C-alpha cells in the first residue's frame, strides 16, 4: 500500500478554537444563536488506502472520512474520470470508499468533499490532492516476448511482441475466450515491468479450486489460422512465488492433461505439440494445482502469453531466364524456410525436385506461355506454392549493344590503331576535330571487370575543356560521341569510370550523357535534352594514383526511347587532366 498526501488542509474556523485531548484533530467551539448553530464548521477529512471488500490490498482502494460539526450529509467527489460523486449521510466519522483504476502505476487525483446541512446553513467544501500508487506483490518480472513471426501466432491472452521497449499486438487475436475464476479462485489482470505488460493472476488456486478459459465457439486446431491453416503448438508462460503461490500446475484441455513444475519466482514456458498429442478441438482450458503440488498463502499463479502458433511456413520464390527464345529456361530458387522443392513447369508433363532446375520446352515454332508453379515445404512438411507466367519462343529480350572501342585499347597494342579509336568516338564539332587524347593512364580494371595493371583510356587536358554550360571553346573543346541502337522502350544501364587529377578547382567535372536520339553536330547534341546525365566532380587523382584507387565508377539506369536510337556524349569542364575508361551500355537486370 502506498498513499502519499500532497496537500495540506485549510482549517476553516469562525469562532474560538479549543484543543480536545481525546481527539486527534482540532475541534471548534460551538457557535450558538439561540439554541442552534449559525454555520457549518468543517475542519478536515482523511483519505487513506486499505483493503477492499474482498481483502485485496493493492493501494488503490481509498476510504474518505470527513470531520465536521453541524453537518447532515457529505458529497464526496473522488476526482477520477470514471467515478461519480457519492453522498453519505451522517455527522463526523461517517465514511465512503472508492477503488481507483490500476491500469497505471501512479496517478494524482483531487478529492473534493462538500459538507451540507439540513438546517439551511451554507455548504462548506474542502479539497485535497492525493497520489494513488498501485502495487503488485505476486509478480516480479515479465516473460520474454515470442520471437516467432506475428502471422504465425494466434493469441488467446498476450499483449504481443516487444519491439524497442513497447508491446506490439498480434494480428490474430481471439475474441471467443471467456476467462472465469472458478469456485473460490480470484481472477485478476495485472501489469508488469516497464512496458506495462498485462498478466493474468489466479489466486487461491488450491485443490479443489480451479480456473478455466472457455471458448465459444470451440477452437478447431485444423483451422486456427483460417480454413485448413492449422496450429502446431499451444504455448503458456507460467510463474509463481512459492511462499505465496504454487509450485506445480496441471493444465487440462482437449481430453489431455499436462503437468508443469515451476521454479520459484522464474517464468517457465510450456509448449504442447498438438499433433503428437492428438488434440483436434479445445472447448476449455482448465488450470489447477498440480498433482502432489503445494499451495501456500495466497496460492497465486501468474499466466501470460497463451497462444497457438505454427512453424513458419516456407516462402516460395523464384526467378528465371526471361531470354527464352531457344525454349531452354533456367529457374533459380529464391525461397525462404524451404526444406524441399517441387516444380510444375505448366506444360502438362514437365516437373522437377531440383532446387535450381533447367527445363527445355517443346519448340512449337510460336510464342507459348506457361504457368509455372513452385511448391515448397517447411520443417513440418507443410506446403506453400507460388505460380508465375513464363513465356518462351518470343523475342530474345533487350539487345546488348556493342560500344565500339569502349575500352580505348589499341588493337594488338599497335599505336596506329589510335586513329580508329578516335573515329569511333568522333562527331562534327565547333571545337577540336579529335574527340580526346589517347592515354596510357587508364583504369586498372579491364573491360571484363578484372583488376590488374593500368590500361589505356581517354584523356582531356585543361586546354581541351568545354565551357561550364557545355558549349565549345572554338578550336579547343573535345567531345566524345557514339551513336547506339537499343531495343525500344527497355531499361538499360550506362556504366563508365572517370578520374580527375587533384589540385584543381572544385568545379572541375567530367560530364557524361545518354542523348535521346542520334546527332551529327556537337552543338545540337549538347543543346538536346538528355535521357540521363551525370556530372562527376570527384578529384581522386589519376586512375593509377594511390594504388589504382583514383577512379570513380558510375552506373546510371535509363529507359530507351520508342525507336531505340540513343547516343553517348562525354566531355570535360576542368583545369586539370581528366580521364574516361570502360564505357558500357547493357540491359538492366
C-alpha span between 385 and 375 (Å, rounded): 4
211 or 32, which is more confident: 211
Q: Which residues are 570's β-sheet partners? A: 480, 512
Does the structure show a pLDDT above 50 at 23? no
- pLDDT tens-place string over residues 515-562: 999 999 999 999 999 999 999 999 989 888 877 888 999 999 999 999
3 state DSSP class of 391: strand
Of the pLDDT bands very low, low, confident and very high (cuts 50, 70, 90), residue 103 is low
Of the pLDDT bands very low, low, confident and very high (cuts 50, 70, 90), residue 277 is very high
CB 442 within 8 A of CB 455: yes
User: Please, what is the average pLDDT of the chain?
Assistant: 86
Q: Which residues are 189's β-sheet partners? A: 200
Instruction: Please compute the mean of the pLDDT values over residues 34-46 and round it to a whole number.
Output: 78
From its phi and psi, is residue 573 left (phi > 0), alpha (psi between -120 and 50) or beta? beta
pTM of the model: 0.43
DSSP 314: P
Instruction: Please compute the mean of the pLDDT values over residues 269-287 and round it to a whole number.
Output: 95
Strand 233-239 versus strand 268-273 pairing type: antiparallel
Percentage of residues of the chain with pLDDT beyond 70:
90
Instruction: Please compute the mean of the pLDDT values over residues 34-42 and round it to a whole number.
Output: 73
Does the structure show a pLDDT above 70 at 8? no
Does the structure show a pLDDT above 80 at 368? yes
Q: For residue 471, what pLDDT is reported? A: 92
Cis peptide before 217 (omega within 30 of 0): yes
- pLDDT tens-place string over residues 445-500: 999 998 888 899 999 998 999 999 999 988 789 999 999 999 999 999 999 999 99
Neighbours of 182 (CB within 10 A): 18
Going 252 to 258 to 264 to 266, the CA torsion angle's sign is negative
Does the structure show a pLDDT above 50 at 361? yes
Does the structure show a pLDDT above 80 at 14? no
DSSP 435: S
Measuring CA to CA, which residue among 235, 284, 282, 278 is closest to residue 260?
235
What's the angle, vertex CA 57, arms to CA 52 and CA 58, rounded to 5? 115
222 or 8, which is more confident: 222
Q: For residue 102, what pLDDT is reported? A: 63
CATH class of 318-392: mainly beta
For the chain, give the number of residues: 589
State the SS3 of 124-181: EEEEEEEEEECCCCCCCCCCCCCCCCHHHEEEEECCCEEECCEEECCCEECCCEEEEC
Lowest mean pLDDT among 172-186, 549-563, 567-581: 172-186
Say yes or no: do domains 150-309 and 411-587 share a fold: yes
DSSP 206: -
3 state DSSP class of 277: helix
Question: Alpha-carbon Rg of the chain, whole angstroms?
Answer: 42
Q: For residue 142, what pLDDT is reported? A: 82
Ordered by start, the domain boundaries in the chain are 2-133, 150-309, 318-392, 411-587
Topology of the domain covering 150-309: Jelly Rolls (2.60.120)
Does the structure show a pLDDT above 70 at 13? no
Does the structure show a pLDDT above 60 at 2? no
Q: For residue 396, what pLDDT is reported? A: 58
**Correct CATH for 2-133 of 2.40.30.200, 2.60.40.10, 3.40.50.300, 1.10.220.150:** 2.60.40.10
Q: For residue 180, what pLDDT is reported? A: 76
Q: For residue 144, what pLDDT is reported? A: 81
Query: Can you read off the three cell numbers belonging to residue 23?
Result: 481527539
DSSP 347: S
Cis peptide before 208 (omega within 30 of 0): yes
Does the structure show a pLDDT above 50 at 197? yes
C-alpha span between 506 and 503 (Å, rounded): 9
Q: For residue 467, what pLDDT is reported? A: 93
15 or 306, which is more confident: 306
Residue carrying the nine cell digits 519466482: 265
Lowest mean pLDDT among 10-19, 342-351, 472-481: 10-19
Topology of the domain covering 411-587: Jelly Rolls (2.60.120)
Q: For residue 263, what pLDDT is reported? A: 96
Amino acid at each position: 500500500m502506498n498513499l502519499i498526501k500532497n496537500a495540506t488542509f485549510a482549517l476553516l474556523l469562525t469562532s474560538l478554537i479549543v484543543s480536545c485531548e481525546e481527539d486527534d484533530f482540532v475541534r471548534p467551539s460551538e457557535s450558538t444563536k439561540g439554541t442552534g448553530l449559525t454555520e457549518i464548521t468543517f475542519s478536515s477529512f482523511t483519505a487513506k488506502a486499505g483493503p477492499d471488500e474482498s481483502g485485496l490490498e493493492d493501494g488503490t482502494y481509498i476510504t474518505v472520512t470527513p470531520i465536521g460539526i453541524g453537518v447532515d450529509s457529505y458529497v464526496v467527489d473522488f476526482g477520477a474520470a470514471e467515478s461519480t460523486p457519492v453522498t453519505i449521510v451522517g455527522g463526523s466519522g461517517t465514511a465512503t470508499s472508492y477503488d481507483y483504476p490500476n491500469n497505471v502505476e501512479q496517478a494524482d487525483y483531487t478529492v473534493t468533499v462538500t459538507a451540507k446541512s439540513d438546517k439551511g446553513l451554507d455548504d462548506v467544501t474542502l479539497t485535497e490532492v492525493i497520489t494513488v500508487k498501485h502495487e503488485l506483490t505476486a509478480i516480479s518480472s515479465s516473460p520474454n516476448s515470442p520471437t516467432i513471426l506475428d502471422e504465425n501466432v494466434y493469441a488467446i491472452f498476450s499483449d504481443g511482441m516487444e519491439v524497442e521497449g513497447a508491446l506490439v499486438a498480434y494480428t490474430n487475436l481471439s475474441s471467443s475466450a471467456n476467462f472465469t475464476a472458478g469456485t473460490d479462485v480470484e481472477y485478476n489482470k495485472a501489469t508488469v515491468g516497464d512496458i506495462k505488460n498485462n498478466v493474468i493472476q489466479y489466486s487461491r488456486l488450491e485443490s479443489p479450486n480451479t480456473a478455466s478459459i472457455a471458448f465459444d465457439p470451440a477452437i478447431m486446431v485444423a483451422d486456427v489460422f483460417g480454413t485448413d491453416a492449422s496450429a502446431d503448438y499451444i504455448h503458456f508462460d507460467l510463474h509463481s512465488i512459492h511462499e505465496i503461490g504454487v509450485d506445480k500446475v496441471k493444465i487440462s484441455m482437449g481430453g489431455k492433461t499436462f503437468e508443469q513444475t515451476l521454479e520459484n519466482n522464474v517464468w517457465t514456458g510450456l509448449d504442447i505439440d498438438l499433433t503428437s498429442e492428438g488434440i483436434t478441438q479445445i472447448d476449455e482450458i482448465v488450470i489447477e494445482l498440480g498433482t502432489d503440488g503445494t499451495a501456500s498463502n495466497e496460492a497465486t499463479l501468474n499466466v501470460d502469453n497463451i497462444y497457438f502458433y505454427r512453424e513458419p511456413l516456407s516462402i516460395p520464390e523464384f526467378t528465371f531466364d526471361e531470354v527464352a527464345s531457344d525454349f531452354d529456361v533456367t529457374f533459380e530458387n529464391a525461397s525462404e524456410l524451404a526444406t524441399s522443392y517441387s516444380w510444375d513447369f505448366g506444360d502438362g508433363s514437365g516437373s522437377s525436385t531440383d532446387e535450381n532446375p533447367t527445363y527445355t520446352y517443346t519448340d512449337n515454332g510460336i510464342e507459348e506461355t506457361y504457368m509455372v508453379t513452385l511448391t515448397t515445404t517447411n520443417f513440418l512438411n507443410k506446403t506453400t506454392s507460388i505460380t508465375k507466367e513464363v513465356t518462351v519462343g518470343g523475342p530474345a529480350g533487350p539487345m546488348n549493344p556493342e560500344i565500339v572501342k569502349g575500352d580505348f585499347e589499341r588493337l594488338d597494342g599497335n599505336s596506329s590503331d589510335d586513329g580508329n579509336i578516335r573515329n569511333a568516338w568522333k562527331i562534327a564539332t565547333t571545337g577540336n576535330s579529335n574527340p580526346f587524347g589517347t592515354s596510357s593512364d587508364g583504369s586498372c580494371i579491364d573491360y571484363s571487370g578484372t583488376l590488374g595493371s593500368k590500361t589505356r583510356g581517354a584523356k582531356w587536358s585543361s586546354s581541351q575543356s568545354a565551357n561550364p554550360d557545355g558549349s565549345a571553346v572554338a578550336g579547343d573543346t573535345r567531345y566524345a560521341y557514339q551513336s547506339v541502337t537499343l531495343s525500344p522502350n527497355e531499361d538499360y544501364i550506362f556504366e563508365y569510370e572517370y578520374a580527375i587529377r587533384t589540385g584543381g578547382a572544385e568545379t572541375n567535372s567530367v560530364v557524361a550523357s545518354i542523348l535521346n536520339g542520334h546527332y551529327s553536330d556537337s552543338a545540337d547534341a549538347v543543346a538536346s535534352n538528355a535521357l540521363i546525365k551525370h556530372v562527376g566532380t570527384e578529384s581522386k587523382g589519376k586512375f593509377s594514383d594511390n594504388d589504382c584507387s583514383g577512379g570513380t565508377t558510375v552506373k546510371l539506369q535509363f529507359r530507351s526511347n520508342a525507336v531505340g536510337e540513343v547516343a553517348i556524349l562525354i566531355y570535360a569542364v576542368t583545369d586539370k587532366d581528366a580521364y574516361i575508361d570502360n564505357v558500357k551500355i547493357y540491359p538492366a537486370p
